[in-house]
């Protein structure tokens, strides 16, 4: 069976992507950094509800050595690696005046360096993959890559960085490996759970489809890009029409 690695899959969007890939016939490595019990539950549920296998693998993607160990553990479990989804990410709401260089680095290290580390570690295995259509890397960016955000400049910068990484890697790794991105709008997960009712109302007014996204909406996009054999270097915007590009 082909295999996929989804970073940050213990909850939220990553969990939905891992479940979708398993449903579609892929064994899945469920990466996490802190939520061991949640990641094990995701893996167990996949094992119970699908014909796929899943393993929960702890690794801090911002650490290059741990990213290599993550890929090694995936290949050890399944014997191959065909698709990578760089979904792990962190956010922090703070104005620039109060943002420390250490916090700036922490967000960049996780969101950009993490994707770089895992992709680099996976390259050898992806190049050996015989899957059709070709193997792929999908990076989860954000609508804020285009719009910016006053209280999360480091997050927006990291997500814009991911788009540059995506296009560069798409050229670099062609024709063997496709590399694409997804730029979600507001999706209902732990990351957005702390918004006040007023903030949510204001955000909703900007969304033509009058709804926030669900993790499954992003999983649909990830499944599309996984199977889209003639698409590389592209960003799929999944935002209810909030930003039409």
Catalytic residue numbers?
Answer: 155
Tell me how far, at minimum, the Cβ of 111 lies from ligand NAP, in Å. 6
For 114, left (φ over 0), alpha (ψ -120 to 50), or beta? alpha
Helix and strand element counts for the chain (H, E): 9, 7
C-alpha–C-alpha distance, residues 10 and 18, integer Å: 9
C-alpha–C-alpha distance, residues 170 and 165, integer Å: 8
Nearer to ligand NAP among residue 178 and residue 186 (C-beta): 186
Nearer to ligand NAP among residue 191 and residue 204 (C-beta): 191
Tell me how far, at minimum, the Cβ of 104 lies from ligand NAP, in Å. 15
Nearer to ligand NAP among residue 71 and residue 134 (C-beta): 71
Contacting ligand NAP within 130-169 (CB under 6 A)? 140, 142
Does residue 184 touch ligand NAP according to CB under 6 A? yes
Cα 205 from chain centre: 26
Does residue 41 touch ligand NAP according to CB under 6 A? no
- DSSP element (H, E) containing 147: helix 144-147
Is 206 in contact with 185 (CB distance < 8 Å)? Answer: no
Is 55 in contact with 43 (CB distance < 8 Å)? Answer: yes
Does residue 7 touch ligand NAP according to CB under 6 A? yes
Which one among 191, 207, 228, 231 touches ligand NAP, defined by CB under 6 A? 191
Does residue 87 touch ligand NAP according to CB under 6 A? yes
Q: Which distant-in-sequence residues (6+ apart) come within 8 Å of 165 by Cβ? A: 112, 115, 116, 119, 139
Which one among 19, 27, 60, 217 touches ligand NAP, defined by CB under 6 A? 60
Footprint of ligand NAP on this chain (CB under 6 A)?
7-14, 31-35, 60-62, 87-91, 110, 114, 140, 142, 184, 186-187, 189-192
């Amino acid at each position: 069976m082909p295999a996929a690695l989804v970073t940050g899959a213990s909850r939220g969007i990553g969990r939905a992507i891992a479940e979708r890939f398993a449903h579609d016939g892929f064994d899945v490595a469920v990466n996490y950094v802190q939520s061991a019990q949640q990641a094990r539950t995701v893996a167990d549920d996949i094992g119970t509800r699908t014909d796929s296998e899943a393993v929960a693998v702890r690794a801090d993607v911002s650490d290059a050595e741990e990213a290599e160990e993550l890929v090694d553990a995936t290949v050890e479990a399944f014997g191959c690696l065909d698709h990578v989804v760089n979904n792990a990410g962190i956010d922090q709401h703070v104005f620039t005046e109060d943002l420390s260089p250490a916090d700036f680095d922490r967000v960049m290290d996780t969101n950009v360096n993490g994707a770089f580390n895992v992709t680099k570690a996976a390259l050898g295995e992806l190049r050996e993959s015989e899957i059709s259509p070709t193997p792929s890397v999908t990076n989860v960016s954000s609508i804020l890559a285009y719009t910016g955000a006053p209280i999360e400049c480091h997050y927006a910068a990291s997500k814009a960085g991911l788009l540059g990484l995506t296009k560069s890697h798409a050229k670099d790794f062609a024709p063997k490996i496709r590399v694409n991105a997804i730029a979600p709008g507001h999706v209902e997960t732990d990351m957005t759970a702390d918004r006040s009712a007023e903030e949510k109302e204001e955000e909703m007014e900007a969304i033509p489809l009058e709804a926030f996204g669900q993790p499954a909406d992003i999983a649909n996009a990830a499944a599309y890009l996984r199977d889209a054999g003639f698409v590389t270097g592209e960003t799929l915007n999944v935002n209810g029409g909030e930003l039409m590009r």
